[in-house]
């Protein structure tokens, strides 16, 4: 999973989320400095607000992923820009895999058993990338992530946890996840445009 920032229109949503989080947390949690120190860890009130904003952004992303998956014809799902690069369908399935695994884990929740552990399991999952597969797993993966994250006790999402090779707060892991998902949305927008498909929300 890559954590690069997205460029273009997708990054605007990330910046908007960051501004909203910073405004909402003024007086609740101090300015965040990495690595997280004790004074940077969100308390209960802050953690609940961060989770609410995170889920709101996931809702927006999901609506666009689903709209784009509808707009791209089935015949284009096997298209890839170059050998060795994920196809249209594989990128969508990669997004679904993040819903099943990394999104819930970013808040300390359990990963879904739909994808077993190990890189080979992810490759196998992504390879089943027809339009029907994509739409099924985008919906089911998103539902799993949202239910798991919203179901966590507030005490479980405060403090820090060991994720992605280090100690992180949900402020950091929220941005890791949304940055990555916005990047893949931008990738799919580029794929669609290269195949003559206009994203439905751009019409």
pLDDT value of position 1: 53
- Residue 40's pLDDT is 73
pLDDT for 165 equals: 77
- Per-residue confidence (pLDDT) for residue 193, from 0 to 100: 97
pLDDT in tens, the chain (203 residues): 543 333 334 444 445 444 444 444 433 333 343 454 545 788 999 999 999 999 999 999 999 999 999 999 999 999 999 999 999 999 999 999 999 999 999 999 999 999 999 989 999 999 999 999 999 999 999 999 999 999 999 998 998 877 777 889 999 999 999 999 999 999 999 999 999 999 999 97
What are the structural domain ranges in the chain? Answer: 9-197
This prediction's pTM: 0.81
Beta partners for 44? none
Give me the pLDDT at residue 167, please: 86
Q: Specify whether domain 9-197 bears CATH 2.40.110.10.
A: no
What pLDDT is recorded for position 89? 98
Provide the pLDDT for residue 186: 97
């Amino acid at each position: 999973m890559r954590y690069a920032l997205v460029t273009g229109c997708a990054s605007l949503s990330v910046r908007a989320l960051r501004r909203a989080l910073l405004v909402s947390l003024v007086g609740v949690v101090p300015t965040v400095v990495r690595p997280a120190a004790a004074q940077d860890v969100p308390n209960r009130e802050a953690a609940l607000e961060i989770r609410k904003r995170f889920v709101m952004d996931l809702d927006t992303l999901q609506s666009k992923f689903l709209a784009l998956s509808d707009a791209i014809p089935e015949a284009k799902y096997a298209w890839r820009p170059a050998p060795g690069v994920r196809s249209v369908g594989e990128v969508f399935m990669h997004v679904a895999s993040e819903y099943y695994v990394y999104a819930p884990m970013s808040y300390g929740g359990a990963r879904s058993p739909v994808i077993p552990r190990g890189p080979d399991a992810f490759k196998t999952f992504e390879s089943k990338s027809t339009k029907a597969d994509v739409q099924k797993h985008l919906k089911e993966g998103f539902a799993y992530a949202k239910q798991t994250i919203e179901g966590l006790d507030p005490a479980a999402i405060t403090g820090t946890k060991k994720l992605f090779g280090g100690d992180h707060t949900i402020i950091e892991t929220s941005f890791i996840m949304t940055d990555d998902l916005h990047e893949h949305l931008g990738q799919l927008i580029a794929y669609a445009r290269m195949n003559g498909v206009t994203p439905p929300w751009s019409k």
